[in-house]
Amino acid sequence: MENYTESTADFILLGLFPSSRVGLVLFILIVPIFLMALAGNLAMVLLIFLDVHLHTPMYVLLSQLSLMDLIYICTTVPKMASSFLSGNKSISFIGCGVQSFFFLTIAGAEGLILMSMAYDRYIAICFPLHYSIHMNRRVCVLMILGSWVTGAINACAHTVYILQISYCRSRTINHFFCDVPAMLTIACRTTRIHEYTVFLSTIFFLLFPSTIIVFSYGKVFLAVHRMRSQVGRKKAYSTCSAHLTVVTFYIVPFAYTYLRPKSLRSPAEDKVLAVFYTILTPVLNPVIYSLRNKEVLEALGRVIYRIFSFKL
């Protein structure tokens, strides 16, 4: 079987939608979801940046989550949409590498940011008097930088590997983006060692953060249950339930996809699960954190008032 890795050779992405009326209907449904995610996350980033009342660790971490989701959905959906509309499903060798790098960077960094947000709520509710010590600006910046840098290093290692191995002549990826496990299935040599590294990366970036998240919120719920203030208890429950909803929609499908053995994986199932963490989670995050958050809504009102006052 012939194989080659020249930079001029394109990959073929089979995409998410079938070339039929059903595919067209699904595509029409995805477009408004993409626009909502784009507008919602961009609005959250700008709102937190513009309103000084939101310059706290909780909202700074939230702005990073929104920024990651913004990059996340822009990494996969535009290419998928253009391929469906034009019928040209090819993606260049370098383009595939770039897409894979950004996807893996955000995938890893977002898991660590979600863990940081859980730790922030744990300190705020369980140790409120020590909050300014454990969650000051320096700690917050280190968490953010650590998430981005660690995610980028992991992404770089995986991307370099998938760009230098030999692929079969078809070079057809049964996915709607350049997903590493999907690309390993068309490699012309054994990739068992790298499959183990993908497994280890998933444990570090998903299972380890999810363990910390479950532990943190377990402690938070115990502390909230002991609260005497019914208003404070309700607010804490609302905040934590919102965070856990985001974590569940993001980590569970991701972990299920990447931790399964190669023999048990199904391309169709992988694509459906990928919709949760690449499309649905980015659109849900701004909805959950804005519509259910009084401080965000108040900040939005202040920013809108300032904009109209400036124009007048």
* Mean predicted confidence (pLDDT) in 23-34: 90
Any idea which fold 14-300 has?
A: Rhopdopsin 7-helix transmembrane proteins (1.20.1070)
Strand partners for 167: 4, 187
Domain boundaries, the chain: 14-300
Strand order in the sheet with 11-13: 90-91, 11-13, 172-173
List helix spans (H) across the chain. 21-50, 57-86, 93-126, 131-134, 137-164, 180-184, 192-202, 208-225, 230-259, 267-275, 281-291, 294-311
Q: Which two tokens stand for residue 295?
A: 């401080």
Q: Output b/e per residue, 124-138; b: 16+ Cβ within 10 A.
A: bbeeeeebeeebeee
| Model pLDDT, residue 311 | 62
What is this structure's pTM? 0.89
Could you tell me which of 155, 165, 14, 13 has the C-alpha nearest to residue 92? 13
**What are phi and psi for residue 172, nearest 5 degrees?**
-100, 120
Contact 29, 216 (CB under 8 A): no
Identify the top-confidence range among 228-232, 233-237, 293-297.
293-297
| Model pLDDT, residue 4 | 47
| Whole-number Å distance between alpha carbons of 98 and 104 | 10
| Model pLDDT, residue 208 | 92
> What are the tens digits of pLDDT across the range 289-312?
776 677 888 888 888 878 777 665
| Model pLDDT, residue 2 | 45
Strands 167-168 and 3-4: antiparallel
> What are the tens digits of pLDDT across the range 66-119?
999 999 999 999 999 999 888 889 999 899 999 999 999 999 999 999 999 999
Instruction: Give the least confident one: 49-53, 178-182, 238-242, 254-258.
Output: 238-242
**If 0-12 CB within 10 Å is exposed, 13-18 middle and 19+ buried, where does residue 183 land?**
buried
Between 293 and 33, name the one with better pLDDT. 33
| Model pLDDT, residue 221 | 83
| Model pLDDT, residue 57 | 92
User: What is residue 188's DSSP assignment?
Assistant: S
Report the percentage of the chain scoring pLDDT > 70: 93
